[in-house]
């Protein structure tokens, strides 16, 4: 359950919301919105596990830059419609990739199927 909340938190943080909030991301026309609890994920993961600025295959992000209100640390600041990996792809790679990696261990993990994150209202 912790992993699910963590994944959701990453998604919301990337979209523009900040730490200590549960963020909601639009699911588009065919999927429900995704809720992400950033604070929940902060308990189990290092900031640089999710936040990154990649250069030559290495994360060069200075953790000191990860402060609330800094728009440059949001996923959408780099992952936009003009980038090689857009925001939606980045969320899916980051969140589902982490959840899939944890599914290979004995530790609990977050959702890996579409409907487990994209909850449609009934």
- Give the pTM: 0.68
* DSSP, residue by residue, 71-83: GGGSGGGTSSTTS
CA distance 34 to 120: 9
Instruction: Dump strand ranges (E) for the chain.
Output: 22-25, 34-37, 54-55, 58-59
Of the candidates 9, 8, 11, 14, the one whose C-alpha atom is nearest the C-alpha of residue 79 is: 14
CB 51 within 8 A of CB 41: no
CA distance 72 to 35: 22
CATH topology of domain 2-117: Cytochrome C3 (3.90.10)
| Residue ranges of domains in the chain | 2-117
Q: Along the 122 residues of the chain, how does pLDDT read in single tens digits?
A: 444 444 444 544 444 444 446 667 777 777 888 888 888 888 888 999 999 999 999 999 999 999 888 888 888 888 988 999 988 898 889 989 999 988 888 888 888 888 888 888 77
């Amino acid at each position: 359950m912790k992993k699910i909340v963590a994944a959701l938190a990453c998604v919301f943080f990337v979209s523009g919301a900040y730490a200590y909030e549960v963020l909601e991301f639009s699911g588009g026309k065919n999927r429900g919105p995704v809720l992400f609890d950033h604070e929940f994920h902060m308990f189990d993961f290092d900031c640089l596990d999710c936040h990154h600025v990649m250069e030559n295959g290495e994360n060069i992000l200075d953790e000191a830059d990860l402060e609330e209100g800094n728009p440059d640390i949001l996923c959408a600041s780099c992952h936009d419609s003009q980038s090689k990996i857009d925001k939606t792809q980045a969320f899916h790679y980051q969140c589902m990739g982490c959840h899939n990696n944890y599914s290979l261990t004995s530790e609990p993990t977050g959702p890996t199927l579409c409907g487990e994150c994209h909850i449609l209202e009934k």
